[in-house]
Amino acid sequence: MADRGWPWRQVLITGASSGLGRALALACTAPGVTLHLAGRDAARIGEVAEACIAAGAEARPRVVEVRDATSMAEWIGGAGRLDLVIANAGISAGTGGRAEPMAVSRAVFETNVTGVLNTVLPAIEAMAEQSPGADGVRGRVAVVASIAAFVAAPGAPAYCASKAAVQRWTEALDASERRRGIRLHAICPGYIRTPMTARNRFPMPLLMEAEDAARRTLSGIAAGRVRVAYPWPLYLAARLVGGLPPGLRAALLNPWPAKAADPG
């Protein structure tokens, strides 16, 4: 077991160059742990890898685009045994107070949905060939969705829909894959202080630091929870608002400032 209490020795994380992904990489860091870290920016992912190495882990940074199915399959297939894969790469975008631009809608779905598929599917294929651990689990895959998955917010239609898609797919997939000894976990965090959320121009209740979110994420995975949603007050509020009739929900949310349109 790793020095910090996590049982995973071989960990792969996408979107690890900043925000939650960076915090997850550092939280998993311990002597004897190998981290496969992916990002789009060579300098930033290299800095994260250096920080992990300085803390005693072996880190293998990789510049890869999650939308590229071939590159992702080659990277994951060549990583060796994987105890935990975290599909964290994603982009956040909204309407900017206007109609959502087509380019934004496509970019959000291609990264947040197709990018998740390109991570999870080869990971499951690789884990199915691994021998199970002492707990009978061959490997775990966590998909970072969002509490936004439970609310069809008019200010960020593609973002909410993309997160809902991967949240539901992950939870449904766990029910069948656990028969093969593979567990899946849908991670549904609230607002996290990251460069991505720094662009938001609306209230972000219960805003968390990335380190706190990483701890909550890993604790939920270690506990075997299929859905890891936090913080609870915001999750409850999202479920309540998400359950309102569409017209009433839109009337309630329309006055809020919209999420910026540029996905970055």
Q: Which is the catalytic residue, given 159, 191, 230, 235?
A: 159
Rounded Cα gap, residues 24 and 30, in angstroms: 12
- Told to judge if 159 belongs to the known catalytic residues of this protein, a careful annotator would answer yes
**Nearest to residue 74, comparing CAs of 105, 36, 40, 41?**
36
Nearest-10 crossing angle of helices 210-222, 19-28:
60
End-to-end CA distance of the chain: 38
Output the CA–CA distances (angstroms, integers) from residue 166 to 36, 96, 171, in the order listed: 22, 24, 8
Q: Is the peptide bond before 231 cis (omega within 30 degrees of 0)?
A: yes
Q: Which amino acid is at 60?
A: R
* 258: Cβ contacts below 8 Å, ≥ 6 apart: 94, 95, 96, 97, 98, 154, 155, 156, 202
Instruction: Decide: helix, strand or coil at residue 228.
Output: strand
User: Which residues are the active-site residues?
Assistant: 159
